[in-house]
Amino acid sequence: MNSEKVVFAFFIVLALTLNFGFFIGGMDEINHHNIYELFAAIVISLISTVLKIGDRTHLGAVFLATSLVADLQLIIAAIVWGMTEHVIGTELGGHSLATVISLSGGALLANVISVVLLVVETVTVRR
């Protein structure tokens, strides 16, 4: 067993599950979406991106691209949340909450693509 591949797969799947945990819930219910879970999703997504940087294959480039998309959308979601609460001075809700959740959904889709690619790569590897 290659421990590097285990760590790589662990962070890809963890990024997906954390993002899914944040995303799931009502679009109009702030209590369904935890800010700390969004923060954890961003941190794990960034770690996952760093792990993908060294791969020089074509598939590695696609892994990196999907990870960068997820990072960008999660960071923008956090910026929208922070701007709404700390700059504008209102509670997150309505349009702003829907924007944060939608951005998280886009990142979730990018994470799903990464996991599908990981499974495809794993299946096609010959011993």
Q: Where are the domains of the chain?
A: 3-124
In the numeric block, the tokens 């599950």 are attached to 17
pLDDT digits (tens, 9 = 90+) for 3-47: 888 998 999 999 999 999 999 988 877 788 889 999 999 999 999
What distance in Å separates the CA atoms of residue 14 and residue 20, rounded to the nearest whole number? Answer: 10
- Say what angle helices 3-23 and 35-52 make with each other, to 10 degrees: 150
In this prediction, residue 74 carries a pLDDT of 96
pTM over 0.85: yes
Q: Is the pLDDT of residue 126 over 80?
A: no
Q: Is the pLDDT of residue 124 over 90?
A: no
pLDDT digits (tens, 9 = 90+) for 33-43: 889 999 999 99
In this prediction, residue 99 carries a pLDDT of 92
pLDDT digits (tens, 9 = 90+) for 53-101: 877 888 889 999 999 999 999 999 999 999 998 888 788 778 888 999 9
In this prediction, residue 127 carries a pLDDT of 57
In the chain, what is the greatest distance between 2 CA atoms, to the nearest angstrom?
58
In this prediction, residue 28 carries a pLDDT of 77
